[in-house]
Amino acid sequence: MTLAEAFARIAPSIVAFAHRYVPLETPNDPLPQRTPIIGTGFIIRADGIIATNDHVVRAFLSAPVPPDADANDWGVSARLVHRTPTGLIEVPLEVTGVWPVEVVRHPGPHYGPKQPDLALVYVNARNLPAAQLDDSPIAEGVELATAGYPMGTPALLAPGWLGQAGPFLQRGIVSALLPFSMPQPWAFAMNVMTQGGASGSPVFMPSSGSVVGMLYAGLYDIGTTRGNDVYRLPTNISYVIPAMYLVKVLAALQDRRVGVHDSPTLEEVVSSGKLVDVLTEGLMGDVLIRKVEPRPRQPSPGAPDHTNQSGESPNKRVNPTAGV
């Protein structure tokens, strides 16, 4: 399997957690109304369980919610980009519950945090495309890939319009196992740059699309401006929670049903007619080439005649270094 095939396999399970509401005081913007993306997640069970970081779900608490909203309204939806025969549809999955992973018991010495930066999110949908988990031991130098929403909504609207609808793909290697090379490290480092919005992105094998971890943090350098203002500078070192944590969580849940028992299937949501295409596929039209004529130049009154001996103006000669 190629990386392109692996990405095509896992991409349908990746979601972007975003605000559901735009405050009324938000000024009119020529860009499409796109609410802020909080972070990334990926489906790990078809009946509506999505994995992400604990710090991502904590950010749910600051999402704006209308005063008359239901008490169970989190103000957040999990946006799933679903491919159809004509293009892409963005399916907003309703968040119905959150479960942070609070305690993980480690037999023997443990050098990492007491609990991983991990949480589960329940959405009101079923028959969802779930990613496959792989908790096999991993080693330094192994090639991996990750996909998510770094920089959130601004990255999708970077050209000044909706230029990107789905997750961004990156590739790197395992830089280090933490705290050292061992069968079950508490985390590992990967040489890709992570930015806000990418938290919760799946890290997967390019040869299979199986998830071996989840992105949760990055290493930052410190820079200063001329005015001595301090800012954080992202580096190409990011940190990943191994998939063994997710495998253990799913084993603890076993066959336990979560969420709403009469949740609609993904097919029912898509066929409801309430969704619109994010991007519609089309064919490239004819390529047209238009000749551009130089602007006629009018000599200034009293200006000397700069024609050369051949009678040709030197200004018409081509400068071979122009534009370099």
- Residue 34 maps to which CATH number? 2.40.10.120
- Within-domain flag for 302: no
In a domain, 298, yes or no: no
Torsion sign (Cα): 52, 132, 12, 285: positive
Dihedral (Cα; 73, 92, 48, 23), 10-degree rounding: -30
* Rounded CA separation 247/241 (Å): 12
| Per-residue confidence (pLDDT) for residue 278, from 0 to 100 | 64
Q: Is residue 290 part of a domain?
A: no
pLDDT of residue 223: 83
Number of domains in the chain: 1
d(CA 146, CA 198): 9
Give me the domain span that covers residue 204.
3-280
**Euclidean distance between CA atoms 71 and 23, whole angstroms:** 18
Q: Is residue 38 part of a domain?
A: yes
Answer whether residue 106 shows pLDDT above 90.
no
For residue 130, the one-letter residue type is A
Mean pLDDT in residue range 252-281:
70
pLDDT in tens, 144-180: 999 999 988 888 877 777 777 889 999 999 999 999 9
Kindly state the tokens that stand for 131.
Answer: 């990613």
181-223 confidence digits (pLDDT tens): 988 898 999 999 888 889 999 999 999 999 999 999 988 888 8
pTM of the model: 0.81
Closest CA to 16 of 203, 165, 133, 206: 165
* pLDDT class of 27 with cuts at 50, 70, 90: low
Dump the DSSP string for 97-165.
EEEE------SS---S-SS-S-EEEEES-BS--PPPB------TT-EEEEEE-TT-HHHHTTTSS----
Would you say residue 125 lies in a domain? Answer: yes
Report the range of poorest mean pLDDT among 25-34, 177-186, 261-270, 294-303: 25-34
Distance from C-alpha of 249 to C-alpha of 102, rounded to nearest angstrom = 11
Task: Evaluate whether residue 216 is within a structural domain.
Answer: yes
* pLDDT band at residue 261 using 50, 70 and 90 as cut-offs: low
Q: For residue 323, name the pLDDT band (cuts at 50, 70, 90).
A: very low
Cα dist from 169 to 3, 118, 194, whole Å: 10, 22, 12
Per-residue pLDDT band at 259 (split at 50, 70, 90): low
| Residue 71 DSSP SS3 | coil
Average pLDDT of every residue of the chain: 83
For residue 285, the model assigns a pLDDT of: 65
Burial class from Cβ neighbours inside 10 Å (0-12, 13-18, 19+) for residue 127 reads middle
Residue 231 lies in a domain: yes
Q: What is the pLDDT of residue 150?
A: 92
Residue-wise pLDDT for 36-61, tens only, equals: 899 999 999 999 999 999 999 999 99
Q: pLDDT tens, 274-311?
A: 665 566 666 666 777 777 778 777 776 666 655 555 55
Q: Is the pLDDT of residue 115 over 80?
A: yes
Q: Outline where DSSP puts E strands in the chain.
A: 14-19, 37-45, 49-52, 76-83, 87-100, 119-123, 143-148, 168-178, 187-190, 202-204, 211-224, 230-242, 277-280
Give the Cα separation of 212 and 10 in Å (integer). 12
Place of tokens 């349908």: 12
Would you state the pLDDT for residue 31? 43
Pair type for strands 14-19 and 37-45? antiparallel
Among residues 38, 32, 39, the alpha carbon closest in space to that of 163 is found at 32
Across residues 261-284, what is the average pLDDT?
A: 71
* Nearest-angstrom CA–CA distance, 65 and 23: 9
Quote the CA–CA distance of 279 and 89 in Å, as a whole number: 7
Mean pLDDT of 83-112: 81
Give the pLDDT score at 318: 46
Contact 190, 112 (CB under 8 A): no
**What HEC string does 76-99 produce?**
EEEEEEEECCCEEEEEEEEEEEEE
Examine residue 324 and state whether it is found in any structural domain, yes or no: no
Give the pLDDT confidence score for residue 303 in this predicted structure: 61
For 80-96, how does the pLDDT look when each residue is reduced to its tens digit (9 = 90+)?
A: 988 877 777 888 898 99
The predicted model gives 248-268 an average pLDDT of 76
Find out whether 128 and 43 touch, Cβ atoms under 8 Å.
yes
